[in-house]
Amino acid sequence: MIHLLLLFTAVAFAAAQQPPSEPEKAEQESLSRALAEAGSSQVDFIRALELHLQRFPRTAQRPELERALAKAAIETRDGARIIKYGEEVLKTDAINLELLERVSRHLLSEDSKDRAERALGYSKKLEETARVMAPSPGIRNYAQLAEQQKILLSKALVYQSRAQGNLGRPAEATDLARQSYATYPSGEAAREIGRWLDRQGKTAEALPFWADAFSIADPALESADRQRDRQRLGEAYRKIHGSETGLGDLILAAWDRTQAQIEAYRANIAKNDPNSSINDPMQFTVSGLNGEKLRLASLKGKVVVLDFWATWCGPCRAQQPLYEEVKKRYKDNPRVVLLNINADENRELVKPFLDRNQWNKTVYFEDGLSQLLRVSSIPTTIVISPKGEIVSRMNGFIAERFVEMLTERIEQSLKEN
* pLDDT on residue 11: 45
Q: What is the DSSP letter of 400?
A: T
Phi/psi of residue 338, each to 5°?
A: -110, 125
* pLDDT on residue 10: 47
Distance CA 223, CA 180 (A): 24
* pLDDT on residue 12: 42
Among left, alpha and beta (phi > 0; psi -120 to 50; other), residue 112 is beta
Regarding pTM above 0.85, the answer is: no
Phi/psi of residue 391, each to 5°?
A: -115, -10
342, β-bridge pairs: 309, 365
Residues 6 or more apart in contact with residue 347 via CB below 8 angstroms: 139, 365
Phi/psi of residue 383, each to 5°?
A: -110, 125
CATH of 281-416, one of 3.40.30.10, 2.30.110.10, 3.40.50.1820, 3.40.50.10540: 3.40.30.10
Distance CA 196, CA 190 (A): 10
* pLDDT on residue 18: 52
Q: At 261, is the secondary structure helix, strand, or coil?
A: helix
Distance CA 143, CA 409 (A): 34
* pLDDT on residue 8: 45
* pLDDT on residue 16: 45
Between helices 2-17 and 62-75, what is the axis angle to 10°?
170
Give the start-to-end residue ranges of the domains of the chain.
Answer: 281-416
Cα distances (Å, whole numbers) of residue 367 to 118, 278, 320, 321, 382: 41, 12, 21, 24, 16
DSSP string, 106-126: HHTTS--HHHHHHHHHHHHHH
Radius of gyration of the chain, Cα coordinates, nearest whole angstrom: 28
Distance CA 52, CA 32 (A): 10
Distance CA 234, CA 149 (A): 34
Amino acid identity of 19? P
Tell me the average confidence (pLDDT) per consecutive run of 10 residues in the chain, 417 residues long: 46 48 74 77 88 88 92 94 96 93 96 95 96 78 83 96 97 97 94 96 95 89 86 93 94 94 83 76 89 90 95 93 94 94 89 91 89 90 93 91 94 84
